[in-house]
Amino acid sequence: MEKSIMTIDSTFWVAVSFVIFFGGLIYLKIPQKITVILNKLISDIKNEIDESEKLRKEAKTLLDNAQKKLDTAQKVSDEILEQAKKDSDKLIIELNDRFHKSSEIKKNLAENKISQMKEATIKEIKDTSVKIAINSVKRIITKSIDKSKLDTLFQKNLDETKEELKKINS
- The per-residue pLDDT for 156 is 83
Phi, psi of 60 (to 5 degrees): -65, -40
pTM: 0.40
Range of the domain at 84: 2-169
CA distances from 161 to 1, 18, 119 (A): 183, 162, 21
Write the pLDDT tens digit of every residue in 37-80: 899 999 999 999 999 999 999 999 999 999 999 999 999 999 99
C-alpha atoms less than 13 angstroms from C-alpha of 107 in its C-beta half-sphere: 6
What CA–CA distance (Å, rounded) separates 51 from 28? 35
Tell me the pLDDT band of 124, cut-offs 50, 70 and 90: confident
Tell me the pLDDT band of 1, cut-offs 50, 70 and 90: very low
User: Does pLDDT of 132 surpass 70?
Assistant: yes
- The per-residue pLDDT for 18 is 86
C-alpha atoms less than 13 angstroms from C-alpha of 122 in its C-beta half-sphere: 8
**How large is the average pLDDT for residues 1-8?**
55
User: Does pLDDT of 3 surpass 60?
Assistant: no
Domain count, the chain: 1
Backbone CA torsion sign across 123, 124, 125, 129: positive
Q: Residue 163 carries which side chain, given as an amino acid letter?
A: E
User: Does pLDDT of 121 surpass 60?
Assistant: yes
Residues 126, 168 contacting (CB under 8 angstroms): yes
What CA–CA distance (Å, rounded) separates 170 from 162? 12
